Structures are given as structure tokens and as C-alpha cells.
Amino acid sequence: MNLLQPVEVFEQTPGAAESGFLCPQRVLWVEPDKDLLVTIGLQEKLKKPEIYRLKEVMDLLRHGTLQRVEVKLRPYVFQAEESIPKKSLRIRDRAWSIIKPLVQEDNIPEVYLPATSGHLISTRAKELGLFPKQVHRPLYRYLAFGSCTDALIACYDLCGPAGKPQQPGTRKRGPRPNRVKVNNNDLTLLGPSTADVKEKIIKGINEFLKSGITEKKAWEETKRVYFNTGAIEHGSTLVPILPKAHEAPSLFQFKQVVKEMDRDLSVTKRNTSTTTWELKHRGVLGSSRRRVFGPASRFEIDATIVDVYLVSVFNRAWLIGRPVLYVIVDVFSRMVVGFYLGLEGPSWEGARLALCNAFTNKVEFCRQFGVEINEEMWPCHHLPHKLLCDNGEMKSHASDALTNRLGIVVQNAAVRRPDWKPNVEQQFNLINNHTIHFEPGALNRRLDEMKRRNCQLDACLTIPELTAILIRKLIKYNWSSYRADALPEAMLGDNLVDATPISIWSWGMEHLTGGAKAIGKQEVWTKLLPEATASVRRDGIYFEGRRYVCPRAINEEWFARARTKGKVEPIEIRHLPYTPAQIWVLNSASREWELCELLDRDEKYRLARLEEMLDRAKLLALEADQNASELQQEFAKFDAECDAITATAKKAAAKAKQGLSKTEKKANVQANRAFEKTAERVEHAREAAQSYCEPPAQDNVVKLRPDMRKQNPLDDIWSL
């Protein structure tokens, strides 16, 4: 066995025979030739070093009566000198200045040996004008705690009853409150100590500190219930007499007890639901990229109501509310692989439109909104192995097509656990903070308060316009969002440090999952595009108020056949709400979907989505109802007047026909008609002549004298 070395510590082995060592011993000096061992006991009150026979101690170590141990390190060992309190450093430096000459090499080992250490200590005390104990106390501390300068740091960590609470009846801790100072240090105003009232405080915490209740409110209720000084009658109600400031614990004392009770987070857990705890308080040890082996391994999809108000493409004065945004993000690369913006959802209809966008080429999609890109700028058209959803629309039977037809494993996050989908949730945050909140009509409550203007009044964007903005912003994000911690280790091995989503996606497709599944657009349309039924009419393929045409329909005379037979033929179609100018019909021969374009007569509906057309119809119907309601009273007056005219005519006719037979009533129809016609002509001629002879309107023309005016040629007719 190796000899003991200075600074080593040994102690009595538990359960072994008594060795005479009552506390751990730190080795100070070893001289094998003289069989000498000098140690100092590590105890609460340090005593001078003792001398032992080295061989005896080594024999005890060999037989297991003693054992080497490692002493628990003092707190200062784990701290930088800058973080140690200055007071402790001053105490250390002062103690070191006292004992420094005693621990120099000239005085070793004499300072350890009882026969010579006393003389050295007394001599040093006389030099400094101190008592001997003022020298040997820091010296023994220096020797016991490792013979280093930092061993002289004050042992505040050993002060006080560790782990024991303050006992009732003890003096209140802390500085005296101002109410005591301004009243000649009247200690009766000091207030109770925490230990004296701790039981009542704990009762108040358990009763009043609940979820949604602040600590201050719970403190006030605790004082009212447990520290009141009585009650007074107010009618039939007892009103508690609230205590004065020195008769109840302070808010600080109340918070300290809460902190003590919540050291194990029991108070927080009690006042927090399991879901909220898991979402906001639990330790975050995992990663969303766990078990993700490359691009398209797992996509995250979610929807949100965008914080911006939009207007209709038909009339920008029509507010259509806030749209729904679906976003799909690849977990491995953080790449935005697809999105959908519209009025549909959150529902399966909106989700599958986003999925259809994610699984198809983006070049044509971007071109529809005026954004020209090449395939390398947004190379995402792959199917994921897994799709993580939010326990909503993907639980419907309609979403079974993802598993049954496309082979995608659908996973659902727990209810109210957005932290399971951090990538897509963070994307919503980025879209709102970097794009939406800067657009007119954005829902920004703080800005609304500052401007004193409702954000709805500033709305001016339509759905196609906001979609075009989002396309550009998402492409910018895919190419510029740098995050070093998202860089796979294998990329670092290849000396690649571009931690943008597009770079990680491209590298992963080349080295990890280059065989990610991708299907043709025909298959995507068949399995994901919304199904609908249109009708073949004489004026086109009619669908939701719009008419379409395709070359095959013209060549096969679909419309002429519908007009000739007078029969409307139903036909299955696929459509995209965000591209209303196009629909697709199935060619049963080639088993492909053929494009049908909007007719020129319906060009005004080219930018109008299906939802907007339905809203337009509702708005027009509502406007018609309002107009009808306003005119209803006027129309009622007309109806009453018509009824009065009819009644008067009946009475006059009955009077004129009185005494005539049926034959006489029906006689002379042609003569009566001729007379009536002549009278109408004469009346029309009179009206025309009167309008001709009426004096002209007042103007700057000089009027003719009466003797110069021509004679009216019809005056002789009126004299007949």
C-alpha cells in the first residue's frame, strides 16, 4: 500500500474496531525515516496538529480499520474569484498577511510540530501586537482546508443549522422597517417573525394561492381570514377587522414561505394543469429531429388564423375577415415545403390543398401569382415518410387517403401540445413578426392603441396579393435563414457550413434520402384535389357560377349535344380554390386529367375564389333584402292606390252599364274602338301643339316683338 501523502485525508472505517481517531485527519507531514506522521483533525473547532507513528497508522489502513477518503470540497472551489464576495476576500487577505511568514519553507515542519509551533505563533503575535489565538485560528484553518491561500476564505457555508428551519419565538430577521425607525425604535411595531406565523401562512397558501390568483391577492386574503383582529356587525353581515401592518406578516414574508414550499415545485404543479406543465414548465431534453434520418423523413403541418384583415377581389370595400394559413415544414432541414392561404378551414379541405401544394412542383404554382422561379429555387415536391399533425383534421375519415393511397404514416400530437411541432409553430411566429405585422390591416393591438384606429379600416390586400407576398417571403426564408445548431454533423465532416434550409435540404437529398418518394401531378390531383361535380351545358362546363371549356369538349360536341337534347350532363372534376381560372376533367381513355380554361365571358371571376364567390352571392342577396325592406312601404302605397283605382273604375262601369243587356254591353265594339282611337290622336296632337307653342325657357336670346311672331297654324283646329 502506498504511503500517506501530505493533504490526504483518512478516517475511521464505519463498523471497524476503534482506532482512536474520532474525526477525519488531514496529513500535514510525513517522515518515514523517523516513523513520523503529523495530522490535524477536521472538526468544528480546529485544534493544534498531533503526532502519530507512521507505521501504526499504515497498519491500520492495511487492516481496514482506517480508510482514505475524499473531503467534500468547499463552495469557493467552484467559483471564480470575481464571484466570491469582496468581504470574504478581504478576510482571506488579512488572514494570509498574518500567517504568511509561518508557512514559508524556513518554518516547515517546525510550524506543524507541537514542540515548536507554540513558540512561532507567540513570536508572530508579538510582532503584530495580536493575541496568540488571533494567529493560530487562521493558521489551523489554513492547514485543515488544504494549505492554500483560498483555504482562509471565511467558512460561511458551515454556519447555521443546515437544513433546519427557524424555530418559533426567535427574533425577526432582516432590517427594521421604517415604521419602527420613525417611532423611536418602538420594537412593538416590528411585526411577527416568519416562524411564529408560518402555520397560518401555509394555510393561507393552500387555501387561496390557486391558478390565476396572484401572490399579493392570496396574501391579502390570508390576512383577512387568519390575521383579522375581530369582526363588526354590518346589518346581518360580519365584517372582519383587518390587522395593522405590524400585526400580520409582510408580503415579502409571505413570498418567502411560498418559495420554501415551492422548492420541489409542488406549489407550481398543484396550481398548473398537466397540459400546461408539460407545455411551459417541464425540462426540455429532447429534439424534434430525433429519429429523423434526412429530408422528407417527417413533415409538420398546422394551421392558424392570420393576423391580418383582407378585402374581396370583387370590391375592395368588402371586408372578408382574416384568412386561414396552412404551412408544412420539413423537420430535418426546416424547409417550408408547401402552404395554403384561403378562407377554407381549419379543416381537411384546407389541409389537403396545402398537401397538394407540398407534393407538386412549385414553378407553375408561383407563376400563377406572378412569381417567376426555377425548380432549384424551391425543389420540394416529395412525399414524407411521416406527417405530424395537431390532432385535428387529420383524424377525419377523409384523411385516410394519405395512408391508404399515398403510404404516408400520419401522426397526431397530443391535445394542446404545440411544442411537439416546434418547427411549424416557429414558422407562424416568423411569418407574423417579419411579414404580416407590417402589412396594412394587420392585427396589432398595441399599434391600434397608439393610433387609436381599428386595423380593419386599413385593410386593402386580397387573398391572391397576400399569397404572392408569402411566396416571396418563404423563398427568402428558405435561402437565408441561417441557424448553426441545425447543421448536421455529417455536413461539418464534409466542410460544409451553410446552415440554411435550402443547403441542408439539397445536401440531405444527395447524401441521405436521395430516393425520397415523389409522384406525378396526375396522381396527386386524383388523390388530393377537391372533388366536385360540374354540368355540361350549351354554354360551357358550368361550375359554381363560372363556365369553362376544353379542346376535347369542343371536338366531341359536348355543348351542341347538350343544346340539342336539352339535357344537362353531370361530369366529375377536380379544382383548386386558389386557381379559379382552371378546372380538370378526367379523360377516361388516357386516364389523365385535362385542363379546362375559364371562358372569356366569365373573365371577371378569374381572380375570385370559390369562397369569395359564395360570399359575393350572400352579400348581394343581403343587399337585395335590405333594399326590398326600405321600399316595402312605398310599394304598399302603390298597391293601395292601384286597388283604389280598380274599385273606382268598377263603380263607374257599373253605373254606366246600368239597365243594358248583355248583348248591348258587347255591341258596337269596332265603332267604339274607332272613336277612342280618333280621340287619342286628337289628344296627342293637342299635346304636341301645346308643347310647340309654349314660350322658350329664359335665356340671353332677344325675344321677337308680338307683331313679328308667326300665327299658329293649328289655332283653327282648336276652334272647331
In this predicted model, what pLDDT tens digit does every residue of 159-184 receive, in sequence order? Answer: 766 666 667 777 777 788 888 888 88
- Give the pLDDT of residue 716: 46
Q: Is it the case that residue 336 has pLDDT exceeding 90? A: yes
Contact yes or no for 243/223 (Cβ under 8 A)? yes
In order, the DSSP letters of 415-473 are TT-GGGSHHHHHHHHHHHHHTGGGSTTB--HHHHHHHTS-GGGG----HHHHHHHHHHH
SS (H, E, C) 504-561: HHHHHHHHCCCCCCCCCHHHHHHHHCCEEEEEEECCEEEECCEEEECHHHHHCCHHHH
- What percentage of the chain exceeds 90 in pLDDT? 18
Q: How far apart are CA 4 and CA 24, in angstroms?
A: 14
CATH class of the domain at 298-521: alpha beta
With a pLDDT cut of 70, the percent of the chain lying above it is 87
Q: What is the pLDDT of residue 713?
A: 46
**At 391, phi and psi to the nearest 5?**
65, 30
User: What does the pLDDT read at residue 720?
Assistant: 42
Q: How sure is the predictor about 421, in pLDDT bands with cuts at 50, 70 and 90?
A: confident
Nearest by Cα to 52 from 67, 66, 31:
31
For 325-343, the DSSP string reads: EEEEEETTT--EEEEEEES
Q: What is the mean pLDDT of the chain?
A: 82
| SS3 state at 585 | strand
Q: Which of the two residues, 257 and 402, has the higher pLDDT score? A: 257
The answer, yes or no, to whether residue 372 has pLDDT greater than 80, is yes
Amino acid at 307: D
Check whether 500 has a pLDDT greater than 80: yes
Give exposure, 182-197, as e/b (b: 16+ Cβ within 10 Å): eeeeeeebebbbbbbb
**Alpha-carbon distance values, 320 to 258, 313, 323, 470, 511 (Å):** 50, 10, 8, 19, 47
Query: Mapping DSSP to helix (H, G, I), strand (E, B) and coil, where does residue 31 land?
Result: strand
Q: What span, in angstroms and rounded, lies between the C-alpha atoms of 432 and 444?
A: 10
Distance of CA 642 to the CA centre of its chain: 65
pLDDT tens-digit map of 377-394: 999 999 998 898 887 777
Q: Give the pLDDT score at 122.
A: 92
Sheet holding 336-342, edge to edge: 336-342, 324-330, 298-305, 386-389, 409-412
Separation CA 613–CA 619 (nearest Å): 10
Distance CA 462, CA 377 (A): 26
Q: Contact at 8 Å (CB) between 187 and 171?
A: no
Enter the C-alpha cell of residue 432: 407574423
Strand order in the sheet with 36-41: 50-53, 36-41, 25-31, 9-12, 66-69
Instruction: State the average pLDDT over residues 474-478.
Output: 92
Three-class DSSP category at 573:
strand
Q: What is the pLDDT of residue 163?
A: 62
Q: Mean pLDDT, to the nearest integer, of 93-103?
A: 92
Burial of 321 (0-12, 13-18, 19+ CB in 10 A): middle
Per-residue pLDDT for 630 more than 50?
yes
Torsion sign across C-alpha atoms 91, 94, 99, 104: positive
Average of per-residue pLDDT across 501-517: 81
For residue 597, name the pLDDT band (cuts at 50, 70, 90): confident
- Note whether 354 and 327 are within 8 A (CB): yes
With bands split at pLDDT 50, 70 and 90, how would you rate the model's confidence at 251? very high
Contact 377, 336 (CB under 8 A): no
Rounded Cα gap, residues 288 and 44, in angstroms: 52
Q: Which segment of 443-452, 534-543, 662-671, 706-715 scores lowest on mean pLDDT?
A: 706-715
**What is the pLDDT, as a whole number, of residue 714?**
44
Mean pLDDT of 593-616: 71
Residue 447 has pLDDT above 60, yes or no: no
405 vs 327 pLDDT, higher one: 327
pLDDT tens, residue by residue, 193-241: 888 889 999 999 999 998 888 999 999 999 999 998 888 888 888 888 8
Contact by Cβ (8 Å): 166, 176? no
615 and 609 Cβ atoms separated by less than 8 Å: no
Q: In angstroms, rounded to a whole number, what is the distance separating the alpha carbons of residues 422 and 302?
A: 11
Q: Where along the chain do its domains lie? A: 9-69, 75-158, 187-276, 298-521, 530-612
User: Is the pLDDT at 604 greater than 70, yes or no?
Assistant: no
Pairing between β-strand 592-598 and β-strand 582-587 as defined by DSSP bridges? antiparallel
Measured on CA atoms in the order 588, 589, 590, 596, is the torsion positive or negative?
negative
pLDDT at 469: 93
Residues 387, 408 contacting (CB under 8 angstroms): yes
pLDDT > 60? residue 567: yes
Looking at residue 47, what DSSP letter applies? -
pLDDT of 613 reads 64
Span 536-558, mean pLDDT? Answer: 87
**Which residue is it, cell 389541409?**
351
DSSP label at residue 308: B
User: What tens digit of pLDDT does each residue of 282-325 get?
Assistant: 877 777 777 788 898 889 999 999 989 998 887 888 888 889 99
Nearest to 68 by CA among 28, 23, 9, 24: 9
Look up residue 707 and give its three cell numbers.
307683331
Strand partners, 304: 325
Sequence-distant (6+) residues with CB within 8 A of 718 are: 686, 689
pLDDT at 205: 92
pTM above threshold 0.75: no
pLDDT at 608 over 70: no
**Per-residue model confidence as pLDDT tens digits over 26-37:** 999 998 888 899
